[in-house]
């Protein structure tokens, strides 16, 4: 007889897989008539027993999400209009999980080319522990209560202003800084303030799907604007309808890696002034730049129309969950009211530890060290790609950050290729999965290297060469 703990674990796995498949159906990633993987294939992919997958399939069939065709397989039923699906006018179904989010309900233990993800084995644990313990020792009794200011600790906001002036050319006052639970909360707050159902928001295309989902959750209409090697193609922003905001990653476009040229920066800011919209500048990983001088922030050129969003998830570690935004004065009060309604205030003791960590220059030294570590991994990945594929691969978007773009002519990275590599414990990220308008990036991979060992880089490239569709090795 199964004991309670093993029964509960099996039930949890079944529920997670059920939720995963059901959500894919709602999001139209599994469209009506699509054939699902066999129970044997899916159990191997997810690392669970076949009986668990059979149980989930039977439940979804019973509820009408799926239908079984004897001798053929299991297919998605025609549900008619799916109220929860993400409707993009020219977008096809998703071909994979959102950027940076794990697709499977169990941790992936293989070689993961996840983009824009830091090296977890290089977290400065000892120095962080010292800063955290000192902050805890020096905390007053009041520090263990509710914070009065939803903007975050003043000592952290003061030190952030100094750091941003030195590293990004941003001049701001501590009163303009709002500390958030990562960049995600900052963007969610801005969406809640600036957007109403039916409003238009212009975004880069391609972009991170989880950011796209934040915008869509407001009921706003998404207007995808293509990018090239010089960033957002500003000339394609519409005269009408006027967007309420424009979302950009100007220092290292995610995922294609372009840098918004100075001419386009001025053009974008003039567009914002003429239309009255705001520009949300997401600077997620430009601290790690390998070629040329550091890129100054777009906000340096306009303090009234640009909201700058930053995070410590890439420079330190994602579990810290500390981000921030630099806000024009006239948006401060409404954003702080929303912030207080959302979470009262962020955790204050980690903010105290971070302020000390930066003030004692541990952060500066850590970023410098990790730039060397990531630079070495970047060079190794480029060398492996060129040694394996020669002139058959084009590499771009590698001047900064923790990922690059590898492009093969006459090649298509479809779901079958992704699944084949996944079975070999290699996880890849086709650029197409980040696109809103589909069909333009099918021959590109977004290849992260931040959290990979050197041996994993080499093994992963070899596996792509062996299994990848139509890739000719030199």
- Residue-wise pLDDT for 286-332, tens only, equals 899 998 777 889 999 999 999 999 999 999 999 999 999 999 999 99
d(CA 48, CA 20): 14
Flag whether pLDDT at 88 surpasses 50.
no
Select the more confidently predicted residue: 320 or 6.
Answer: 320
What is the average per-residue pLDDT within 184-194? Answer: 96
**CB distance 435 to 444 below 8 Å:** no
Low-confidence winner among 214-218, 227-231, 256-260, 341-345 (lowest mean pLDDT): 341-345
Q: Would you state the pLDDT for residue 9? A: 52
**pLDDT category of residue 457 using cuts at 50, 70 and 90:** very high
What is the average per-residue pLDDT within 389-417? Answer: 92
Flag whether pLDDT at 95 surpasses 50.
no
Please state, in angstroms and as integers, the Cα–Cα distance from residue 388 to each residue in 72, 112, 437, 462, following that order.
Answer: 39, 19, 31, 7
Please state, in angstroms and as integers, the Cα–Cα distance from residue 288 to each residue in 125, 210, 293, 417, following that order.
Answer: 20, 23, 11, 31
Flag whether pLDDT at 28 surpasses 90.
no
- Residue-wise pLDDT for 139-155, tens only, equals 999 889 998 899 999 99
Q: Would you state the pLDDT for residue 13? A: 77
Flag whether pLDDT at 7 surpasses 50.
no
pTM of the model: 0.77
Low-confidence winner among 352-356, 426-430, 438-442 (lowest mean pLDDT): 438-442
What is the average per-residue pLDDT within 32-39? Answer: 88
Those residues with Cβ within 8 angstroms of residue 210's Cβ, 6 or more apart along the chain or in another chain: 98, 99, 100, 101, 184
Q: Would you state the pLDDT for residue 405? A: 97
Flag whether pLDDT at 81 surpasses 90.
no
What is the average per-residue pLDDT within 332-358? Answer: 94
Q: Would you state the pLDDT for residue 106? A: 65
Flag whether pLDDT at 21 surpasses 70.
yes
Select the more confidently predicted residue: 102 or 37.
Answer: 37
Those residues with Cβ within 8 angstroms of residue 367's Cβ, 6 or more apart along the chain or in another chain: 287, 288, 315
**pLDDT category of residue 61 using cuts at 50, 70 and 90:** confident
403 — phi, psi (to 5°)?
-155, 165
- Residue-wise pLDDT for 194-243, tens only, equals 999 999 999 999 999 999 999 999 999 999 999 999 999 999 999 889 99
- Per the listing, tokens 């003030």 go with 359
**Which of the 8 DSSP states describes residue 302?**
-
**CB distance 348 to 147 below 8 Å:** yes
What is the average per-residue pLDDT within 279-284? Answer: 96
- What are the DSSP calls for 91-127, one per residue? -----SPPTTS--SSS---SEE--TT---GGG--HHH
- Residue-wise pLDDT for 103-147, tens only, equals 445 678 899 999 999 999 999 999 999 999 999 999 999 889 998
Low-confidence winner among 69-73, 304-308, 355-359, 384-388 (lowest mean pLDDT): 69-73
**pLDDT category of residue 3 using cuts at 50, 70 and 90:** very low
Q: Which domains does the chain have, with CATH numbers?
A: 4-76 (1.10.10.10), 111-121+374-467 (3.90.1150.10), 123-364 (3.40.640.10)
Flag whether pLDDT at 171 surpasses 60.
yes
Helix, strand, coil percent content, the chain, rounded in steps of 5: 45, 15, 40
Q: Would you state the pLDDT for residue 108? A: 83
Share of the chain above pLDDT 90, in %: 66
Flag whether pLDDT at 84 surpasses 60.
no
Q: Would you state the pLDDT for residue 234? A: 96
**pLDDT category of residue 60 using cuts at 50, 70 and 90:** confident
Share of the chain above pLDDT 70, in %: 91
Q: Would you state the pLDDT for residue 404? A: 97
Calculate ∠ Cα 314-316-320, nearest 5°.
95
What is the average per-residue pLDDT within 440-457? Answer: 96
Select the more confidently predicted residue: 81 or 338.
Answer: 338
Q: Would you state the pLDDT for residue 16? A: 83
Flag whether pLDDT at 99 surpasses 90.
no
Low-confidence winner among 7-16, 242-251, 364-373 (lowest mean pLDDT): 7-16
């Amino acid at each position: 007889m199964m004991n309670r703990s093993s029964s509960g674990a099996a039930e949890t796995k079944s529920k997670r897989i059920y939720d995963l498949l059901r959500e894919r159906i709602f999001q139209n990633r599994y469209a009506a008539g699509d054939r699902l993987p066999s129970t044997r294939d899916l159990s191997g992919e997810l690392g669970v027993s076949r009986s668990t997958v059979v149980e989930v399939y039977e439940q979804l069939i019973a509820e009408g999400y799926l239908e079984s065709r004897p001798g053929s397989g299991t297919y998605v039923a025609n549900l008619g209009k799916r109220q929860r699906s993400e409707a993009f006018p020219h977008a096809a179904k998703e071909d994979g999980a959102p950027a940076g989010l794990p697709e499977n309900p169990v941790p992936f233990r293989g070689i993961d080319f996840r983009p824009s993800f830091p090296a977890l084995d290089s977290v400065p644990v000892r120095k962080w522990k010292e800063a955290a313990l000192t902050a805890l020792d020096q905390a007053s009794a009041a520090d263990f209560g509710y914070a009065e200011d939803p903007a975050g600790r003043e000592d952290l906001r003061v030190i952030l202003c100094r750091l941003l002036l030195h590293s990004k050319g941003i001049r701001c006052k501590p009163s303009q800084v709002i500390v958030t639970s990562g960049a995600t909360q900052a963007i969610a707050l801005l969406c809640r303030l600036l957007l109403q159902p039916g409003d238009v928001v212009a975004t880069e295309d391609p972009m991170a799907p989880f950011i796209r989902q934040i915008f869509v959750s407001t009921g706003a209409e998404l207007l995808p604007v293509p990018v090239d090697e010089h960033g957002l193609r500003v000339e394609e922003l519409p005269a009408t309808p006027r967007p309420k905001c424009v979302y950009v990653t100007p220092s290292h476009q995610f995922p294609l890696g372009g840098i918004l040229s100075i001419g386009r920066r001025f053009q974008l800011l003039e567009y914002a002034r003429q239309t009255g919209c705001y520009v949300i500048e997401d600077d997620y990983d430009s601290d790690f730049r390998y070629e040329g001088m550091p890129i100054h922030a777009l906000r340096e050129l306009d303090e009234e129309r640009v909201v700058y969003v930053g995070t410590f998830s890439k420079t330190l570690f994602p579990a810290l969950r500390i981000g921030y935004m630099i806000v024009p004065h006239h948006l401060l009060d409404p954003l702080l009211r929303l912030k207080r309604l959302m979470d009262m205030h962020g955790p204050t003791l980690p903010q105290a530890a971070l302020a000390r960590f930066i003030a004692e220059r541990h952060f500066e030294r850590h970023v410098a060290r990790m730039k060397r570590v990531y630079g070495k991994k970047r060079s190794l990945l480029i060398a492996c790609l060129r040694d394996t594929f020669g002139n058959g691969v084009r590499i771009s978007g590698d001047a900064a950050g923790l990922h690059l773009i590898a492009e093969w002519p006459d090649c298509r990275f479809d779901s079958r290729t992704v699944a084949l590599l996944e079975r070999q414990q290699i996880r890849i990220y086709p650029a197409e999965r980040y696109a809103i308008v589909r069909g333009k990036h099918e021959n590109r991979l977004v290849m992260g290297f931040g959290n990979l060992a050197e041996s994993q880089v080499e093994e992963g490239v070899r596996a792509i060469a062996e299994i990848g569709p139509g890739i000719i090795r030199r």
